[in-house]
Amino acid sequence: MSDLAIRVENLSKQYEIGAATSRHDTLRDHLMAGIKGLFRLNGQRSSVIAHSDTIWALKGVSFDVRHGEILGIIGPNGAGKSTLLKILSRITEPTAGRARLYGRIGSLLEVGTGFHPELTGRENIYLNGAILGMRKAEIDRKFEEIVAFAEIEAFMHTPVKHYSSGMYVRLAFSVAAHLEPEILLLDEVLTVGDLRFQRKCMEHAKRLRERNATVLLVSHNMFAIKAMCNRVIYLSRGEICLDGQAEDAIHLYEKDSRLEPAPWAQGIIGREPSLRPIHITDIELLAEDGKPRTVFAYGERMRVRIQFEASQPVENPNFNVSVMRSDNVACCNYNTTMDGFPVPSLSGKGVIELLTPPIRLVSELYTIHVMVWDTQFHRLYNAQIGTTFHVQHQVLSTHFGVFHESAEWSWGSGQVEPTIAPMEA
């Protein structure tokens, strides 16, 4: 048991919908419960309490994590991932079961937690260190390293309430990771900020593992999960569906996410397909000859066959196919409006097909997203996640960028005037 970092045994968490008195996770919850209690004493008992319902955010979750392990936790929205980390961080208590953590904990959950908004970046570094039980001398020793990693030296004396979300995460990750935690809990921190800083965070987490620290990473970023984790837990509806290799868990995640609304669009189109004017019922990837294919060589063309159903007439829809890399970088987009293919008013079931130009993307895993806009890109009718595919090339990888197109070169001895090749009509 000496190498055990985390033991979770039959962990369950129940919430009551519409019954605020049942959830007292924070000081704010206790205060609100007390205020509502005064109203009930005056005979104004809320009718919501009588009609409360319960949901299980977690149900019987059990697993062990060893020191030096980086464990990924993935799953659809509402699977219980963040609830699990909040229990491990002691922000909330479980309804049943228990969790034991052996070592000093550092955590970075969602943007907006952990820092006091009125304090400066410098003051929050010392506050967080004190909460972790560190002496001032220890924080002094780490201070310059934390600031340098976050890359926001000019804002150290600015209250963090004025920080952008990217600046906040830079500093929060740097504090959580550099105060030498033995267990580091990270929730979706790699979805904010630029790609370079995300990679920097991943490299730092790997260095923590080399020092035998344990990292738990909750993320929708499959690139980060694949790059960092050799073991992944897949959660769905509060239960563990798979605890194993990263590739197996990612495959299950992609299967369950297929044709789901794109996360960024859910606030616009909602999750219920029957409420959308048009719904994508299937997305197929095919080779140029029409045979099903999920692996394409660099330079090949790909067919994307989209089946849809319009529950009401949609005037001049603009079909969009976006290619997203596994780290959520949008690589390219094809759409009927800009490609000069007008689509008439649609209703009922139908099929539309795209034949891409030769694929010049570097070798990686990609996901197809399908959107339907109006021709002005003002109204979004639908946005759904499709299937994944790989591009293969012996040399080209993400170190070469997003794509590669052949250029024209010239050479001469000594000083030469640059030559400009005529543009083709």
Residue 235: predicted pLDDT = 94
CATH code at 263-400 = 2.70.50.60
CB 205 within 8 A of CB 218: no
Residue 262: predicted pLDDT = 86
C-alpha pair distances (Å), 48 with each of 21, 31, 52: 11, 19, 6
* In the chain, where the domains are located: 4-257, 263-400
Residue 176: predicted pLDDT = 77
Who's near 266: CB < 8 A, 6+ residues apart? none
CB 308 within 8 A of CB 352: yes
CB 244 within 8 A of CB 231: yes
Residue 90: predicted pLDDT = 86
Residue 238: predicted pLDDT = 92
CATH code at 4-257 = 3.40.50.300
Consecutive H or E run containing 104:
none
User: Hunting for tokens 């409420």 — which residue is that?
Assistant: 275
**pLDDT < 70 regions, the chain:** 1-2, 17-52, 110-114, 189-195, 414-425
Residue 47: predicted pLDDT = 38
User: Hunting for tokens 């000081």 — which residue is that?
Assistant: 27
Which tens digit of pLDDT belongs to each residue from 246-267? 989 988 888 887 888 887 888 8
Q: Which two tokens stand for residue 366?
A: 């990609």
